[in-house]
Chains A and B, each alone.
Chain A
Amino acid sequence: MRLTKGLHGYAVLRLGSGLEIRLHNLLTAIAMALLVVIGGVVLLTMGSTDSTFSDLVDLLRGSAMSEDLSFAIADVRMPRILMGFMAGWCVALTGAMLQSLAQNPLADPGLLGLSQGSLVAIMLVLVLFPGLPLIYTPLAGFVGGLAVAVLLMVLVGRHHSGGLGILLMGIAVETTLSSVTSVLILYAPPEQSHAIASWLAGSLFHSDWPAVGGFSVWFFFSIPAVLVVGRKLRSLDLGDHMALALGEPVHVTKPIILIIAVLLSAAATAAVGPLVFLGVMAPHLAGFISPAKGRARLLLSAMMGGVLVVAADGLTRLGPDQVALPTGLAIMMIGAPLFIISLRIRTMRQARS
């Protein structure tokens, strides 16, 4: 392992296996990982049950502690933080993949209608088959999301999938599906429409250990996906023709990446509801802090998504007792100002150069 300077002028860490990592990407990833760990530890001590850092240490050591405290830290806060990080990771990763796939910086599972497709399918399953085990909801979400993806490809056509066309068509499909969602909420039995409305706002409330265990399968699936897909996206970022010239079978690669994106998006939607705009914000913020390509871009985007959701979870706990702040809204409250600031700074930099 040695530190050298690449042709692009950035410091690069070269590993023995031939793998190269830009130093600023590596440092950013380490900083975000530290942020998540520190934020997670702080959040573990935040809640209506009084707890301190030493209580966490006691819990990790297995020392005797009150059942209430153990319940608060181990059964309520810990799974919530883990679920928040993993869901944010998956949604942001999906956004980053779709942006490269559509070659459009605004592509996001929400804006393209994939999340709405998953939502409608999940709601239909909940309304029409209320007794169906919850394990089937991600499957329904996947079918719905994939149906929207196929519909978009058919409507826009393969040759226009990289431009504004797919985005506009995605917004049209998303708007149409939103009205279907509204009708479903209106006509669903009250007991279901209440639960659906709460889930639509984005919520980590249902994050217990079984839910975390179920979702972790998708999270761990996303890690090799980052390694495999990242390399492909590096070629696709150059455009279809260049990717083909580089030997990338675009007609095979693109559908596979789309299926992976839909899978991750559907799983996250089923677990915590739609986390609107996170798929756009997180890759942009990550790219602003540390510009990257390929695997590094996916990894940093995913970590930024996790950081934003964990921070949003903290914000929901800081509010007054009377205020119920949905996680989806808290993400927007934290992410949107950062997103605007980053865009403004980027615009000013471009104007100067």
Chain B
Amino acid sequence: MRKLIIAFALICAGGLAHAQSGNDMRTLQDDRGRTVSIPENPKRIVVLQEPILGVPILELGRDIVGSYGRNDDGSSMLRVDFIQSVLGKDGKALGIGGIGPIGNLDLEKLRALKPDLIIGGESDEDKADLLSSVAPVYLQNIRTPDITGFITQQKLADLLGAQQQYQALWDGYQKQIEDVRAHLPGNPDGKTYMAVIIHDTINMVTNKSGAVQAIEDLGYHRLEIDGTGKASGYGQGFSVPLSSEQFARLNPDLLIVMNSYVSADRSEETIRKRLDVIVPGWNRFLRPEKEGRIVFVDSVKVSTPTIASARHTLDAISDWAASR
């Protein structure tokens, strides 16, 4: 009897200690097939891909304590700041710390942030075992062919138990879709679109961003172009190269054009100058330009896989529709 009482007391003490830690663990399988134990309610998340993983988490109302591409003071190492541009939030004020320069992750800095969960993409798989010495590492597919539109954000919501926040964002987004559709010049159902981003060359934007999700949710479908599939050798990332000749022949019902996200100036004027260099005379023969069917957008605002990026795209399309 005395042993039973002791055992019961030990079990109670163990349970109490576990409850006081305030963070139960759960075991699950990540997208790379790894079995990983993560906190039920992670409080100190570090992301290894800020635009694709960090911004969606912040929009869901969850905090991140560290991100690849941030300085120690929370400012962006890059010329662009996705958190500021997409969400209007300040990385410094949010207290997001850096984990070393891009391409050279600093394990000491990572550990100093005391993360309880590290979230990375499939390209971080080679680092996962090493990073696991600091905190549990969950790898989520972000660039595989099955990942389109908001799927990344939706999966993060499921992972972090933020389904309600995601649903609220989704409801607001759906309302805006209906509003914008009502103000478009003509019914978009069955009409075509093409989204391009201009780096050194012109590239077709694939369906991995909030921008393309929004355009397709409006009813447009992508203009088919030969030679841009996986067999072309360019893969299926965020964008695939498009030749100047192909661009000059484009005639979708809606053409979305954005400047590279590494460019400081992403205004319509700069985009036009860049096109003058890459495709001289484009404004004289490109039909969407001649017929006023081009929408210029800020690539930083619209390229993340978030509802916020989709809504920025809808804002731009709405402004374009109003100006016609």
Contact = CB atoms under 8 A, between A and B. Distances in A.
A72 B134 CA distance: 11
Interface stretch (B39-47, B121-129, B162-170): B121-129
B1 interface: no
Given A49-B111, A324-B102, A325-B104, 14 more contacts: A47-B108, A68-B108, A68-B112, A72-B111, A76-B107, A76-B108, A186-B235, A191-B143, A191-B144, A205-B104, A206-B127, A321-B98, A322-B71, A324-B103
The 3 closest A-B pairs by CB, nearest first: A324-B104, A191-B122, A194-B123
A321 B111 contact: no
Interface in A313-336: 316, 321-326
A88 B26 CA distance: 43
A322 B71 CA distance: 8
B116 to A, nearest CB: 15
A71 interface: yes
Interface in B127-173: 127, 129-130, 133, 143-144
Nearest to A191: B122
A324 B103 CA distance: 6
B125 A191 contact: yes
Contacts of B106: 47-48
A325 B106 CA distance: 12
B17 to A, nearest CB: 20
Contacts, number: 76
Give the most central of B100, B105, B130, B133: most A CB within 10 Å: B130
Interface string B80-124: 000000000000000000101111111111011000000001110
A117 to B, nearest CB: 22
A57 interface: no
6 contacts: A47-B106, A71-B133, A76-B108, A187-B233, A190-B123, A191-B123
Contacts of A323: 101
A324 B143 contact: no
B77 A206 contact: no
Contacts of A71: 107-108, 111, 133
Interface in B163-196: none
B61 to A, nearest CB: 29
B125 A195 contact: yes
A237 interface: no
A324 B101 contact: yes
B35 to A, nearest CB: 14
Contacts of B107: 71-72, 75-76
A48 B100 CA distance: 9
Nearest to A73: B108
Contacts of A325: 104
A208 interface: yes
B104 A316 contact: yes
Interface of B: 71-72, 77, 98, 100-109, 111-112, 121-123, 125-127, 129-130, 133, 143-144, 233, 235, 237
A176 interface: no
Contacts of B71: 321-322
A198 interface: yes
A206 B233 CA distance: 30
Contacts of B143: 190-191
Given A191-B122, A191-B143, A49 B112 contact: yes
Contacts of B102: 324
A325 to B, nearest CB: 7
Contact of A321 (B100, B105, B130): B100
Interface in A95-119: none
Given A186-B233, A321-B71, A324-B102, A206 B126 contact: yes
A199 B125 CA distance: 13
Contacts of A47: 106, 108
B101 A205 contact: no
Interface in A277-330: 316, 321-326
A206 B103 contact: no
Interface in A190-207: 190-191, 194-195, 198-199, 205-206
Contacts of A322: 71, 77, 101
Given A190-B237, A195-B125, A321-B71, A48 B105 contact: no
A177 B108 CA distance: 37
A183 to B, nearest CB: 9
Contacts of A326: 103-104
B91 to A, nearest CB: 15
B130 A191 contact: no
Interface string A31-59: 00000000000000001110000000000
A326 B103 CA distance: 8
Contacts of A48: 100, 106, 108-109, 112
Nearest to A76: B107
Give the most central of B108, B129, B237: most A CB within 10 Å: B108
A205 B105 CA distance: 8
A220 B106 CA distance: 29
Contacts of B72: 321
Contacts of B144: 189, 191
A189 B141 CA distance: 12
